[in-house]
Amino acid sequence: MSEVLVVAELSDGSVRKTTHSSIRAARKINELSGGTFSILVLGGPAAKDAAQQLVGYGAARVLVCADATLTHYLAERYAPVVAAAAPGFDVLLATASSYGKDLMPRVAARLDAAYAADCSDVSLEAGQLTLKRPMYAGNAYGFCTLSTTQQVVSVRQSEFEPAEPSGGKSAVADVALAAPGGAAERVEFVSLDQVKSERPELAEARVVVSGGRALKEDFFKVLEPLADSLGAAIGASRAACDAGYAPGDFQVGQTGKVVAPELYLAIGISGAIQHIAGMKSSRIIVAINKDAEAPIFQIADYGLVADLFQAVPELVTALKARKA
């Protein structure tokens, strides 16, 4: 039996889709070893409403800690609450977004529990929960077990389809705010600067258009019309982010976001190991690059050797013509 606690993620007071990937993973653990899952929602006063968005997913309980001191996420304040809600649960689970990566190891340490990061699958081997993890930029999978009775896990969003509602209505219960440690006294939230966009989120999009160093200052000028015509999210290589052509959180790769859309277009991206690690699970990969030897072509389903500054506008025109 595995009782699982999913730690939900909120953004601006509503539930992020990352949470639904964790729910999928929790259901899978329950299928493997029995038990139920619950969901813990933490946040400011708005968390109460957010919890209502999660009552239809088959959780035994939806636990809420809504408190003004949790309005802005800080691991130093969230980890104590998660740890206080943990008794009775065997597995604590979140998605390895920047939130999950920041919070869950801290939760694990607080519980003196072992942690497995960014897992792409869960299985049962000889009765033990076994976590599959991509390592070495996705060039090996490790299958690990954790030795502590309570276990903390984060899962890779792109490997767990968001859970669909399953009907029913979970009971909602409040959990008390736990007193934070001294660390919370010495950290202060200053600001969260988020660019609001009409586009789908990178990690959730059905189509992703990514650009590399080659785009230079015309990054958005060239890619936006293409993304618009495909309803795509925009991503970037590290080189494009480092150079300031695209914001840092657009970065796709081993050390950026991992995406697995239906369609991924790599525009003026060479295809370094670190980039490939973040997009090679995409169903269809298209590469446009003027260098026929660029490594990206080794994993692309369709490669076009061309100058992107000509090919991309041409592609936009062709896509528009199809729609018309």
Partner 1 sequence: MKILVALKRVADPDNANKIRIVAGGEKVDTGNLEWKLNPFDEYALEAALRLTEDGKAPKQRLGEVVAVTLGPKEAETNLRSALATGADRAIRVEAQDEQLDGHLVALALRKLVEEERPDLVLMGKQAVDGDTNQVGQILAELLDYPMATFAATIEEEAQGLRVSREVDGGVCVVRLKFPAVVTVDLRIVAPASVYSQKTDRAFKYNDGVRFAPLPAIMQAKKKKLDVKTLADLVVNTPLRTRYRKFAPPATRRAGAKVKSVAELVDKLANEAKVI
Whole-number minimum distance, CB 293 to ligand FAD, in Å? 9
Q: Please, which residue, 27 or 219, has the CB nearer to partner 1? A: 219
Whole-number minimum distance, CB 269 to ligand FAD, in Å? 4
- Interface with ligand FAD includes 214 (CB under 6 A)? yes
Tell me which H or E stretch contains 102. Answer: helix 98-111
Sole window of 14-22, 81-89, 177-185, 249-257 interacting with ligand FAD (rule: CB under 6 A): 249-257
The answer to whether the CB of 241 falls within 8 A of the CB of 250 is yes
CA 67: distance to chain centroid?
25
The entry of ligand FAD, partner 1, none that residue 212 binds, CB within 5 to 8 Å by partner kind: ligand FAD
Sole window of 5-13, 39-47, 60-68, 264-272 interacting with ligand FAD (rule: CB under 6 A): 264-272
- Selected from 5, 294, 315, 316, the binder of ligand FAD by CB under 6 A is 294
Angle of helix 219-230 relative to helix 308-323, nearest 10 degrees?
20
- By rule CB under 6 A, what string of x and - marks binding of each residue 85-104 to ligand FAD? --------------------
The answer to whether the CB of 34 falls within 8 A of the CB of 76 is no
162: helix, coil or strand?
Answer: coil
- Interface with ligand FAD includes 10 (CB under 6 A)? no
The answer to whether the CB of 61 falls within 8 A of the CB of 123 is no
Side-chain half-sphere exposure of 75, counting CA atoms within 13 A: 13
The first and second tokens of residue 192, run together, are: 């969260």
User: Which residues bind to ligand FAD, rule: CB under 6 A?
Assistant: 212-214, 237-240, 251-256, 268-270, 272, 274-275, 278, 289-291, 294, 307-309
